[in-house]
Amino acid sequence: MINWRCCPLMVASVGSGHPTPRLRRPAAGAMLRADTTLGMQMGRTLLGAVAGLISAVVTIMLIEFAGRQVFPPPPGLDPASTADMARIVATLPIGALLFIAVAWVVGAFEGGLVAAIVAGRSRPRVAAVVPALMVMAGVVAMTIAVPAHPMWMAVAGLLLPIPAALAGAVLAGRLRRPAA
């Protein structure tokens, strides 16, 4: 025998003599309001995470592009080649390496800020951490692909993005509150 009581739209007609369950409308907004709110919160959190990720990637690319303008790579080496990239990294001055590390941290901060603003009050910190995790994944991939990067860059790239993204979320919360 099927227990139809588990489904809010179905009610078993137990004791009424009717052999089949009948459809019943739920009370006005009894369950739809809570599920709709939860879905909206999840949607805003996901949208915030995606928006933060896109803005973090764009910010990192812009800062790294500015770093390449200030510190151009040596002529004759192709940055698309892994072997040439290892030589480029080995010859970069400390300022160029700092540009890259700063790009990661600023990108994570800005991504966390945008993610938290878009997420609103749903789960801004959760949305803010997603861009930071993706920055950290990029650092790991970069370290594996081009192991010539200094160790301090990998450590900074793994330790700083989450605090930077959470700082962006805190700033977004302060921007959201009305001034007293």
- Give tens-digit pLDDT for 101-149: 999 999 999 999 999 999 888 888 888 999 999 999 999 998 898 888 8
CA separation for the pair 100, 81 (Å, rounded): 19
First to last CA, the chain: 62
Helix (H, G, I), strand (E, B) or coil at 23: strand
Q: What is the pLDDT of residue 12?
A: 45
Which residue shows structure tokens 């080496």? 77
Interval 47-59: pLDDT, tens: 999 999 999 999 9
Say if residues 139 and 104 touch (Cβ distance below 8 Å). yes
Residue 79's pLDDT band, with cuts at 50, 70 and 90, is confident
The full set of domain ranges for the chain reads: 1-30, 43-176
Say if residues 88 and 146 touch (Cβ distance below 8 Å). no
Within its chain, how far is the Cα of 176 from the centroid? 19
The bridge status of strand 10-11 relative to strand 22-23 is antiparallel
Average pLDDT, the chain: 82
Nearest of 133, 92, 130, 96 to residue 114 by alpha carbon: 130
Interval 21-56: pLDDT, tens: 566 655 555 554 555 566 677 888 889 999 999 999
Nearest of 126, 121, 110 to residue 164 by alpha carbon: 110
Count of residues in the chain: 180
Return the DSSP state at 22.
Answer: E
pTM confidence score:
0.74
